[in-house]
A and B are shown apart, each in its own frame.
Chain A
Amino acid sequence: MNLIEIKNVSFSYNDELVLKNINLTIKKNDYLAVIGPNGGGKSTFVKLILGFIKPTKGSIKLHTQKLGYVPQYTNFSLDIPITVLDVVLQGRIKKYKFFYNEEDKKEVYEKLKLVKMYEYKDKKISELSGGQRQRVLIARAMVSNPDVLILDEPTSAIDPQGQKEIYDILKSLNITKIMISHDLNFLLEGVNKVAWISKTLVLHDAPDLHLHRKDGHFCEIDFINEVHKCKVSND
């Protein structure tokens, strides 16, 4: 079942072409990794799917309105006094919903347990580590029971142990996932499709990439070369 269909999408900003002729279909339960160089258009790609910006050309068809979004935790001011519980409850807000009820709280507790943050529910968000904050944001995105979870570099500026915990949580979620990351290690964490975005998009089924670890890490150069070879052959 197709959840998102992107057809011939291009996007320009101030006359500069950011994305060119993107085609992609995201199916139910896909785990799509979005990788590529800085400034290659990864964030723009995600913003297009979320509807924050409109494509200059082409169309994006969403077969669900239930999108969950996990931004980078580093985008937030830690000065705002807010507890973990209040942050996760935000995932239950809707346009014309102004107050939370018991069902909302029940759902929040369930998702906090899922990300192993229940015992921190009354803590201030600023008292948590980066990894813990990111788990709270995953819980916030999950409380609306979305069909698609979109994550923007959820492991940036997080220590390896924290990253591993987040990957394990994501792997356990039986849901369609789209994740931007600079960390190629997560490609072995259940990802089934890889989109390399650098103005254009090159799609790979992850198992076809013959990724290997070197000293516990992916050999990024090999991977990029592989993608590049595919891109050349596609052209």
Chain B
Amino acid sequence: MIDIITLIPNSFYASFLISIAVAIMGSLIVINKSSFIAGSIAHGSFGGIGLAIYFSLPILLMTSVFAVFLALILSYISLKIPHRSDAVIGAVWAVGMSVGILFSELTPGYNAGLISYLFGSILTISNEDIYMMIGVDTLLIIFISILYNQILLISYDKEFAKVRGLNVGFLYTLLLVLISLTVVMSVRAIGLILIIAMFTMPPFIAEKFTKSLKGMMILSGILSAIFMISGIFISFYFDISATATIILVATTFFFLSLFKK
């Protein structure tokens, strides 16, 4: 056990740092029923990766800008035409992926790193990725510490939030922007395709066992850390994909939790 921690310490740091994001943003994604939006941002941000590779720009920076741009579009559409937002969410999902595929194809040479952005590679996390995770986690903790009550209200009852004078549009947009940054910080570890599973399954399980959003956040963070660490160990000893194993561990508990009334 000590060997693996010594060999790939960043994967363990990443597991804990991503678990903090899962606790906060994953719980908010689940209670806001925003899994489809979060999935759209995650997949759509592949466009940012393609553009970054083509124009030789810093990948994390370019992907962050692109993902935030998608979050702003989705926020606008969700607030202005909520009854048709699902079609736009689906379009953003596909357009982002298409831009990513197109620009990565136009880039000369073979981009082996692209696969790690799609499926994640938690065992090869760099220090730069860790710094970004620390930065985004810090933002998330500040955000939730100050706005917990207001975010809980807009998640529960947007109309009443308006009556109380809250700027629902601003808070919702902020929520989506933070989802987009969370997606980018996790993309190298979990991968665009699997990220949404990691951000929804632990909170979904936690929701059934808790009485408050605070409790849901704490429990989903703990569950996420357990799933990630155990997934890494299992994958290490069986020499299989770490990210896929993490998701399958989470999925096992996810289905077991369905039996809880």
Contacts and interface: CB of A to CB of B under 8 A. Distances in A.
A86 B164 contact: no
Given A69-B163, A95-B166, A90 B153 contact: yes
Contact of A98 (B147, B211, B216): B147
Tier of interface size on chain B: 20 to 34
B149 A81 contact: no
A76 B33 CA distance: 12
Contact of A99 (B33, B149, B157, B160): B149
A81 B33 contact: no
Contact of B146 (A71, A82, A98, A124): A98
B230 interface: no
Contact of A69 (B152, B159, B210): B159
Contacts of B111: none
Contacts, number: 77
A105 to B, nearest CB: 13
A184 B155 CA distance: 33
Given A67-B163, A71-B160, A140-B160, A81 B153 contact: no
B149 A98 contact: yes
A108 interface: no
A82 B157 contact: no
Contacts of A83: 211-212
A4 to B, nearest CB: 15
A89 interface: yes
A98 B150 contact: yes
A171 to B, nearest CB: 23
A76 B163 contact: no
Contacts of B212: 81-83, 86
B159 A93 contact: no
Interface residues of A, number: 30
A191 interface: no
B156 interface: yes
Nearest to A52: B162
Interface in B200-215: 207, 210-213, 215
Contacts of B160: 69, 71, 90, 140
A15 interface: no
Nearest to A94: B165
Contact of A91 (B146, B152, B164, B207): B164
B219 to A, nearest CB: 10
Interface in A67-93: 67-69, 71, 75-77, 79-83, 86-87, 89-91, 93
Interface in A124-176: 124, 140, 144
Nearest to B204: A79
B31 interface: yes
A154 B152 CA distance: 23
Interface in A168-202: none
16 contacts: A50-B163, A68-B163, A75-B157, A76-B156, A80-B31, A80-B155, A80-B156, A80-B207, A81-B210, A81-B215, A82-B156, A86-B152, A86-B212, A91-B164, A93-B161, A94-B164
Given A86-B212, A94-B164, 18 more contacts: A68-B163, A71-B160, A77-B33, A77-B156, A79-B31, A80-B31, A80-B213, A81-B212, A82-B213, A83-B212, A86-B152, A90-B152, A93-B149, A93-B153, A93-B164, A95-B165, A99-B149, A140-B160
